[in-house]
Structure 1
Amino acid sequence: MECAGKGRGTRCLGPPRRRCDRCGAVAYCSASHQILHWSDHKEECKRLEQQMKRTDVLNDFPFTFSQEATLEVHEKRETSCSFLSKRGIHQVGMWLHECSCGASVPSSYCSRSKDGWHLSSILCPCNEPGSPISRQLNSWKDYYEWRCIPLHSPVALLLHWPLTIYHATQVAGLGSLTHEMRDKLYIHYLGPEKELLQLSVFAELCALFPGVHLHIELVGPAIPQNRDGERINLCNYSHCFETDCICKSASETISWGVQTSRTSKVTLQLRKGFYHDRYRDIAKDFCPHLVIAPNAGVAAYSSWLPTIELIRDINVPAVFTDYCEEACQLGAHCISTVTGHPLRFPIQLNPFRQPLVVENSALFLPCYSNCFLFGI
């Protein structure tokens, strides 16, 4: 964590150990930097104070590892590396990007042999669910019970991607699909980064949307040039590590850029570039039912301005997520300024946020991937 007043005239004197007495969310290296930063901090201080009071709600997960993955990592008594190592999934396959060790791995790297869960079949959804969804899933507990997965399984660390898509469709009112989208659902997914190393986890959407063909356009500047236009058909669930599991008798989980006679339930299409630059090409084939932008950082990047204008003009439901409530507050303000209207979907906690706290965040406020969502 850096001093909140870094760059304010003088160099920082050391680690930021002096926390704001009122909000407790930011820290400073010295009293002088705290004083210099007050002109900026005073507007956010009260807001952050209220957010800090909801810390227990942010850390509330049903897993047996919840305290380890939240408080202990946040207070540096545990790390994401040690958390993954204890479960035998450190620096392997889809788990590679869940700690800083995998940060330098390029998104162009991918190998089907490394797409599995690296877990036993009892701990992961490597096959069809035992029963179809009979009611709306509203929590990780609901999902784990439906999928018959024990609460000590870490799969939620990766499944927050497809479950957030599922939840976004519920928030946007697409849960009960209308007649024209009964068989197909088109989603534009903006700004993928680490997901590019975890694409096979999106096969879980087959279970979450039974009988529906999902076509997802993943659009963003992080997609490597050599993967622009790549089409991925997710035919089966990601495999467990057991050699005799029934999941091994199924066909390959992923068909990379190859058209097969079997119709995929989930199709991913990669598009390099900004959404507002690529939309015309993408929309020639179909218009989206939903736009979703995970961990968007709307207030942090000016490139969002033309994209928000485009979403406003095409009048499609759009759901944004971010790591903390404060980032959503800032993003919501930017969006409302551009659109001239209040949010259609107010800021709300995502029940399917990733249950591993972000290490070394800019605030003492706990941050989680896909933590809060809001939309227009």
Structure 2
Amino acid sequence: MVCSACKSTVYCSKECQKKNWKNGRVPRAPSHKQLCSSNKIHMQKVPMIQNLLTQFPWGRVESDGSFSDDIVRSRFKLLGGKGFGYWSQAGGFQAHLANASSPQSPAPKLPPLAANKDYRHGYPLLDSKHVDDNGGWKLEQKFIPRLALDSETTPIIASKSNVVDWDSWYSWRMVPKDSPAALLMHFPLSVYQLLVHVLRVANPKWGSPSRRQKVVVHYVGAEVELNFIPIFAELALLLPYYDIQFVMFGVAVRDIVRLAKQSHTKSLLSKAVSAGRPIYEYTAPPTLGSSTLSVHLYGECENWGDPDCDLSTAPDVVVGMNAGLLSYPAWTRVIQFCFLHDLPFGVTEYAEQSAETQVSVFPQIVAHAVQQRDFFSRLLPEERKNLTKTREYPIKFNPFQRPGQRGVMGSTRLPNAVNGFTICIVGRDVASSPGDEDSALDLEEASRKMAALEIGELD
């Protein structure tokens, strides 16, 4: 049974539906009577998600409105744990592996049908070298968005193109829609969407041969992304004349770095960390702007902004994919830090409804910091102004989401997609190049101030 008004909520019986009309599904949760009208508005995005999917020959909408990317991966022989190149992933039904969960929210044990028991996010980094385009993608040549470009596969420079959605990206990259590349490329392209169209800290038209741009991106909460780090080089192709420093943080990052140091001392990860070098580097062809991307893994702390984090380079922007801002207490520190220093910060979320719930709590997070007098008294006037100023948090449909409604919908059919929606938490109010000014953010001093603020769980 489905609610006849909003068409979003599925029930097992009339009795269940009547009960939910007045009471939430769990204690303190809003009732369906409170949510029905907003759900009806959210459901208007479902056709957008379905249209985004059905532009691909492999896109299929199931009877419940969902999409199974496992079926597509299986068709292309790309479904599995270790040994599947960029496509390697954990099996089962849990969103996070046990080694990649917050200690405050430990993941349940994986079901028996999970991936190989020795699978761990980032295992390719324990080899002696990165795989090439063919070894990573494991697709027919014509289906691969190659990084080793030749005369037949080199697109026009991105500053003369207009890459704004999957259709324009496939066309620009000269890859047919038969390719399932979007099932992985939604990660780097969602970062591009945040940098260019949401936070406005970068733009394909800002750089030039005589005026190169630099951006330091801190990528928080990396997990499965550690299996396909090279595809983030797409940012160097999309942003001509840029030097991009990309630093990944998270529990999975810390764990794979520790493992490399302890028992894989000859791996490319161990050698890079020991020498203080990037784990991956890429330079775009001169005809595309000669942009560079260097990827670093920060494995010295569990969470970004922890007191024991020694962040030697101040970021220009902080991003997170499918963040779950209210699900993991560590995000509270990141939110407060970025508010305090007006540091551009944006994330993607699965569902529009959960994104709205999250931004509704931001005033509480600010109020909690302001009420801590010992903390607030230590702030500079500019920091107090940043922390307390009125902000808006626009939520937008992400045109570079992973195609298709998620298949773990349960009792709701609200729009829900991997990297489905973007949230601008702290944006930059400019419409042109920010220039090459050095960051004035003193991370060491900022960390001391944030350490003085004890962050408790908000109601």
TM-score normalised by the chain length of structure 1? 0.77
Q: Distance in 1 between matches of 2:181 and 2:360?
A: 34
Q: Is the alpha carbon distance of 1:116 and 1:279 closer, same or farther for their aligned partners in structure 2, counting shifts above 3 Å?
A: same
Matches within 5 A, 1:57-206: 57-61=48-52, 64-65=55-56, 69=59, 71-72=61-62, 74-75=64-65, 79-91=68-80, 92-97=84-89, 100=92, 105-110=119-124, 111=127, 112-113=130-131, 116-126=136-146, 127-128=148-149, 129-133=154-158, 134-170=160-196, 171-176=198-203, 177=206, 182-206=212-236
- 8 Å Cα contact 2:321/2:349 also seen in 1: yes
The answer for the alignment partner of 1:269 in structure 2 is 297
Q: Residues 260-311 of structure 1: CA distance to partner in whole angstroms, max 9, x if unpaired?
A: xxx96332323341112068511xx221111111111113233322221111
Instruction: Identify the match of residue 419 of structure 2 among 362, 370, 374.
Output: 370
Give the aligned length: 330
Quick one: which of 1, 4, 7 aligns to 1:24?
Answer: 7
- State the identity %: 23
Matches within 5 A, 1:157-306: 157-170=183-196, 171-176=198-203, 177=206, 182-227=212-257, 230=273, 231-235=278-282, 265-271=293-299, 272-277=301-306, 280-282=309-311, 285-306=312-333
* Aligned with residue 40 of structure 2, among 36, 39, 49: 49
How many Å apart are 1:205 and its aligned residue?
1.9
Distance in 2 between the 1:106 and 1:79 partners? 23
Larger Rg: 2
CA contact (8 A) 2:214 2:244 kept: yes
Please, which runs of 5 or more residues in structure 2 have no aligned partner? Answer: 24-29, 93-112, 259-271, 285-290, 367-387, 427-459
CA RMSD of aligned residues (A): 3.1
Name the counterpart of 2:373: none
2:121 aligned partner, one-letter code = S
Q: Residues 311-331 of structure 1, C-alpha deviation per residue, up to 9 Å, x if partnerless?
A: 111211111110111121111
Cα deviation for residue 204 of structure 1 reads: 1.6
Q: 1:63 to 1:48 in 2, by over 3 A?
A: closer
Give the TM-score, by structure 2 length.
0.64
Shift in Å, 1:35: 3.9
Distance 1:222 1:33 in 2: 40
Counterpart Cα distance in 2 of 1:301 and 1:183: 34
Correspondence for 1:351 among 375, 378, 399: 399
Aligned equivalents of 1:357 and 1:195: distance in 2? 20
Match of 1:330 among 353, 357, 361: 357
Q: Report the alpha carbon displacement of residue 163 of structure 1 after superposing the two structures with TM.
A: 0.8
Relative to structure 1, is the Cα distance of residues 119 and 342 closer, same or farther in structure 2, using a 3 angstrom cutoff?
A: farther
CA contact 1:108–1:224 (8 Å) conserved in 2: no
Structure 1 residues 50 and 62, CA gap change in structure 2 (3 angstroms): closer
Cα deviation code 1:186-230 (max 9, x no counterpart)? 011111122122222212222112332211121122334241594
